[in-house]
């Protein structure tokens, strides 16, 4: 009888040990990235997208992100942007995201007030050399967290999103520019679609 009790206790101990371990999940392959903030707030509230009304959008473009103005095919930098006149690229990217996300959430009129927190990780567009020859990709990465504006609680864990939009090149780039489809117009419209789709995903 004592041997049976010992075996039972050992089995329970092994089971509890296995439940306590958490696997390391790559955020790029998962729909959501579980962050320390989310773990610290177990009261995460799942809300249906149609119940949301976005009341504020906070966009951060860290000054640690490296900017390149080099006119080469593929600069090694976090921010590459030529869709605005030369200037403060961090501020320009922030403005693009604020405008795009405001457009993408403008039709959300639900009863739950939501604040979007957005941190830019990468915004790598194309240089003049690339745009007027082969074309490329507008590669944009950011972290997104939606908070209940009243309780301050996250509605879902932070997710890291990568959005890629083909960048026209050569004669096509020039033709689209003449039609009013500038890089800024296309990127802003695309990001508006991205945020709408992301907020429609089940949590």
The DSSP annotation for 46-82 comes to ---GGGEEEEEEEEE--TTS-B----SSS-SSSEE--
> Distance between CA 189 and CA 164 in Å, rounded?
13
Cα separation, 152 vs 117, in Å, equals: 12
Domains identified in the chain, total number: 1
pLDDT of residue 50: 57
- Over the chain (203 residues), what is each successive 10-residue block's mean pLDDT? 40 39 31 31 47 95 98 97 98 98 95 96 98 97 96 94 98 96 98 94 70
CA separation for the pair 63, 23 (Å, rounded)? 33
Residue 11 lies in a domain: no
Cβ within 8 Å of residue 50, ≥6 positions away: 108, 110
Q: Write the CA distances from 77 to 56, 65, 74, 143, integer angstroms.
A: 29, 8, 9, 18
Residue 69 resides in a domain: yes
Is 21 domain-assigned? Answer: no
Instruction: Note the pLDDT of residue 96.
Output: 98
Asked, for residue 13, whether it belongs to a domain, the answer is: no
**CA 54 to CA 35: how far, in whole Å?**
22
Domain that holds residue 89: 31-199
Backbone φ, ψ for residue 143 (5° rounding): -105, 135
Residue 15 lies in a domain: no
CATH of the domain at 92: 3.40.50
Residue 57, in any domain of the structure: yes
User: What is the pTM for the complete model shown?
Assistant: 0.76
User: Phi-psi region for residue 135, left (φ > 0), alpha (ψ -120 to 50) or beta?
Assistant: left
In a domain, 24, yes or no: no
- Assess if residue 37 is contained within a domain: yes
Report the distance separating Cα 121 and Cα 118, nearest Å: 10
The conformation of residue 28, written as its DSSP 8-state character, comes to G
């Amino acid at each position: 009888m004592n041997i049976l009790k010992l075996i039972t206790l050992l089995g329970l101990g092994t089971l509890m040990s296995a439940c306590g371990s958490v696997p390391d999940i790559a955020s790029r392959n998962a729909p959501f990235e579980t962050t320390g903030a989310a773990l610290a707030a177990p009261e995460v509230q799942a809300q249906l997208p149609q119940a949301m009304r976005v009341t504020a959008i906070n966009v951060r473009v860290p000054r640690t992100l490296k900017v390149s103005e080099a006119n080469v095919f593929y600069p090694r930098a976090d921010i590459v942007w030529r869709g605005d006149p030369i200037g403060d690229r961090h501020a320009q990217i922030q403005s693009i995201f604020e405008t795009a996300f405001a457009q993408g959430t403008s039709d959300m009129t639900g009863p739950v007030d939501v604040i979007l927190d957005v941190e830019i990780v990468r915004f790598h567009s194309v240089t003049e050399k690339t745009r007027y020859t082969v074309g490329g990709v507008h590669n944009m990465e950011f972290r997104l967290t939606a908070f209940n504006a009243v309780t301050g609680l996250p509605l879902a864990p932070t997710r890291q999103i990568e959005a890629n939009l083909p960048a026209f090149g050569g004669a096509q780039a020039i033709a689209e520019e003449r039609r009013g489809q500038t890089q800024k117009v296309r990127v802003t419209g695309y990001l508006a679609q991205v945020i709408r789709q992301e907020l429609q995903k089940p949590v």
